[in-house]
Amino acid sequence: MHAPISFGRLSRIITAVALSTVLLTSSVFAARPHASTVNLTMYFPIGVAGPLNSLMTRLVADFNDTHPDIHVNPVFAGDYVSASAKAQAGISAGSPPDVAVLLAADLFSFTDEHAVLPLDKYFTKKELADYWPAFLANGRLHGHIYSIPFQRSTPVLYYNKAMFSAAHIKKAPSTWAQLAKDAQKLTQRDSSGNVTRYGVEFPSDGTVYWMWEGLVLETGQKLFNSTGTKVYFNSPGAVKATNFLIDLSHKYHAMASGVLPWGGAPTDFTGGKVAMIYHSTGSLSAILAAAKFPVGVAFMPKDKTYGAPTGGGSLYVFKGIPASHVKASVTFIKWMTSPVRAAQWSIETGYVAVRKSAFKTHAMKVFAKQNPQVLVARNQLKYAQAELATHQDQQIHQFIDDQLDAAISGQSPTKTALQTAQQESNQILSQFGK
Amino acid sequence: MATRATGSRNRYGNPFLPYFLLAPSLAVLALFTFWPAIHVGWLSLYRNNLASNGPHFTGLTNFATILDDPQFRTVLFNTLEFVVGTAVPSMALGLTMALLLNRQRILSPLYRVAFFYPTLVPMVGAATAWAFIYTPGYGLMDRVLHLWGGGSLNPLGDPKLALPALIALSIWRMSGYLMIFFLAGLQSVPTDVQEAARVDGAAYPTILRRIIIPLLGPTFVFVVIIAIVNTAQLVDQLYVTTGGGPNNATNLLLWDIYQQTFSFQDQGIAATMTVVLVGALLICAALNAFLLDRRTHYDD
């Protein structure tokens, strides 16, 4: 038996229960995203561990905190190839990611699949003008812009200042001829004639086409057309660039011969095995951290003109997602590439900040004062052009990489090799030529 | 055989019981092995790449295309060289190590572990270590060559040396694994027969040739197929070393399939190459089963 409860007491209990329910539920809901929150999936090409991963996690958390109506879920999707593969799988299954950082040069692969949205209408002219044109170039097609630069790089010439002054060379070489001469001077041999130190190294395994494009551009030759249907691999400029590389080993004896590994070049350089290397700006932080000598950074030396390709990943937005997701994705992209974030990403990773105003931020000014090398890469962007991008670009890259390997390792003469790559590419590209 | 079912009924009573019991594994096999194999055969009949704007039925055109492609022929030849070049020496080494370590000596267990350990190292780690050995200039191999007054080699960057360099790495990794099977096989070779032969004055080479190796027959059948299938599937080392280069000198069939699928997005060609690979492996397995297995002496 219960004691009878007075009305007053009952109402107090009800109020208390009601109040605590409201408080409880509200605190539960507060922990979750808002009911009208847009959930975005972003693919980012990195493994699950490492500094880039933690930086991206921090940035996304910052974005989510400051944008209560958008929630971005980053998916760390391996390297560029696996991230692309995952995005492709999503597209085929009808559930594409909303945003992804994928290779800028893969543009045609995505447009051929009708997988990505043009983004230019979401940006003002002024906003777009703030991104470096050389970086935007790989996103341009048929008057639209399909990708916004995010983690972009460009190759530069690294040189060992201590070795330079020991050899009485005052400044970094600015021409091919000067480079060959300096490299010869910097090459050292022991008493029995074995080379103990080479003058220069131009890595040539894997994606050698990338830096090689820089050499071709320096001869004043373009490597492909803007609609991605033609390549100029057998052009005189391409032949000249390839022969220059071969001459560094076989005529000037200032570079190791054969195909040299990309990953080994920074180690060779910081270990004092070579005086100069061509490498990506992306390696700057690692080289500065490992080198026990003053590191100089210079433009890729010129032939007729300065020239360099750009490389790396840009942000794409995918077709087939709701309008609210497109809008939220654009907000996210603008935030991620805002001057402050672009500067932060550049400082912490070594990629070149993708927009001009990033170099006017306080953080970047302070950083550039300590590391003036970052400004060299920026200044070279004036001469930089789009990375080799065509329809079916991965296969075209493979053709030219294979034949460059063949030429560099002495398997076939330069002209034959480049002619082969040209024919193989023509065969593929003719399917797209309109 | 010890038990034999009489008539149509087995001793469990229900004739469907064995099928019922096998059904779960059959279902899994069908879903994850048979169906994909059939499906890939179907896909190989379609042109489906970035230029095709969706799949188009083309019959056997894809097969004609790849057979006509000099690069594919290079890849096939590389794969053959890699599989034979790895499997045969690995089996020889594995058998030698097993014969040496079969006798109980104080240090045998230690040596067994030492020889088996390369198998335990993940391929990516092993390949990274070997990439360092092969580094021109200051890699381990060049250091040793230098001590003996030799010049510098760049095996992974030289089209003639790259595949042999990767074969060496694969032999190092594979032979310890095959040794384990030979060791297990040797345990079942009866010692009394060997002792009888020894009493009759047979020397070790004769015992090896006339008794041990014939009695290892079933092990050989197993090891041959394991060695071929495993080497045909080894591509991790390419990922960390040459990426198939220089100029396709180390491009192997499975690597090519991976590239066609994920880099070039040519699903039709990738499926066609897969049919070739699966077909070749099936033929190997069948030849092995019908030729070698029939001549093999099983002692129980």
Q: Please indicate, yes or no, whether residues A212 and A103 belong to a single structural domain of this protein.
A: no
Token pair for B11: 């001793």
Higher pLDDT, A219 or B55: A219
What's the confidence (pLDDT) of residue B245? 79
Under the banding of pLDDT at 50, 70 and 90, the label for residue B6 is very low
Q: Are residues A397 and A298 in the same domain?
A: yes
Contact present, A119 and A147 (Cβ < 8 Å):
yes
Residues of A in contact with B263 (CB under 8 A): 81, 394-395, 398
Measured distance CA(A35)–CA(B142) in Å, rounded: 64
Shared domain for A277 and A422, answered yes or no, is yes
Q: Element (H or E) spanning A197, and its range?
A: strand A195-201
| pLDDT, average across residues A161-172 | 96
Between CA A1 and CA A3 the distance in angstroms is 7
Distance from CA of A402 to the nearest CA of B (A): 4
Chain mean pLDDT for chain A: 90
Q: Kindly tell me if the per-residue pLDDT of A2 is higher than 50.
A: no
User: Cα–Cα distance between B154 and A28 in angstroms, integer?
Assistant: 63
Q: In percent, how much of chain B has pLDDT > 70?
A: 93
Residue A85 contacts B, CB cutoff 8 Å: yes
Domain for residue A101, yes or no?
A: yes
Same domain, yes or no, for A210 and A231? yes
Dihedral, B179, B182, B186, B187 alpha carbons, nearest 10: 80
Residue B74 to chain A, least CA–CA distance (Å): 13
State the average pLDDT over residues A9-34: 52
Nearest CB to A259 within list B51, B152, B245: B245
A18 in any annotated domain: no
**Dist. CA A288–CA A282, nearest whole Å:** 11
Burial of A284 (0-12, 13-18, 19+ CB in 10 A): buried
A271 and A372 within one domain = no
Residue A30 falls inside a structural domain:
no
Binned at pLDDT 50, 70 and 90, residue A267 comes out as very high
Say whether B152 and A405 touch across the interface (CB within 8 A): no
In a domain, A95, yes or no: yes
Q: A-B interface: how many C-beta pairs under 8 angstroms?
A: 96
Burial group, residue B119, by CB count within 10 angstroms (0-12, 13-18, 19+) = middle
Do residues A257 and A400 share a domain?
yes
- B70-295: CATH number: 1.10.3720.10
Write out chain B residues lying below 8 Å of A411, CB-based: 159, 247
Asked if the Cβ–Cβ distance from B245 to A206 is below 8 Å, we say yes
Same-domain check for residues A126 and A141 = yes
Q: Which of A258, A392, A405 sits opposite B154 (nearest CB)?
A: A258
Whether A411 sits inside 8 A of B157 (CB atoms) is no
Indicate if the pLDDT at residue A252 is higher than 60: yes
Interchain proximity B49–A392, CB inside 8 Å: yes
Query: If pLDDT is split at 50, 70 and 90, which confidence band does A334 have?
Result: very high
DSSP string, A286-330: HHHHH-SSPEEEEPPPBSSS--EE-EEEEEEEBTTS-HHHHHHHH
Q: Are residues A301 and A356 in the same domain?
A: no
Decide if pLDDT at B264 tops 70: yes
| Helical (H) or strand (E) element with A332 | helix A323-336
pLDDT-derived band at A21 (thresholds 50, 70, 90) equals: low
List all residues of chain B from 74 to 133 with a beta carbon under 8 Å from chain A.
Answer: 131
pTM: 0.83
Q: Same domain for A216 and A333?
A: no
Q: Is residue A149 part of a domain?
A: yes
Residue of B nearest to A396 (CA): B264
CA distance B203 to B210: 11
User: Measured between CB atoms, which of A206, A264, A428 is closest to B243?
Assistant: A206
Whether A285 and A405 map to the same domain: the answer is: yes
Q: Nearest to residue B152, comparing CAs of A403, A243, A268?
A: A268
ipTM reported for the complex, 2 dp: 0.75
Which of chain B's residues have a Cβ under 8 Å away from the Cβ of A105?
Answer: none
Confidence of residue A17 (pLDDT cuts 50, 70, 90): low
The parent domain of residue A264 ranges over: 155-309+390-429
Give me the residue from A85, A112, A259 closest to B157, CB to CB: A259
Q: How many domains does chain A have?
A: 2
Are residues A320 and A304 both part of a single domain? no
Q: Are A346 and A373 in contact (CB under 8 A)?
A: no
Question: A-contacting residues of B 219-278, CB under 8 Å?
Answer: 242-243, 245-248, 259, 261-266
Long-range contact set of residues A15-19: C-beta below 8 Å, sequence gap at least 24: none
CATH number of the domain enclosing A301: 3.40.190.10
Instruction: Name the token pair of B36.
Output: 């994909």
| A394–B51 C-beta distance less than 8 A | no
- Judged against a pLDDT cut of 70, whether residue B216 lies above it is answered with yes
Q: Is A188 on the interface with B (CB under 8 A)?
A: no
* pLDDT value, residue A8: 54
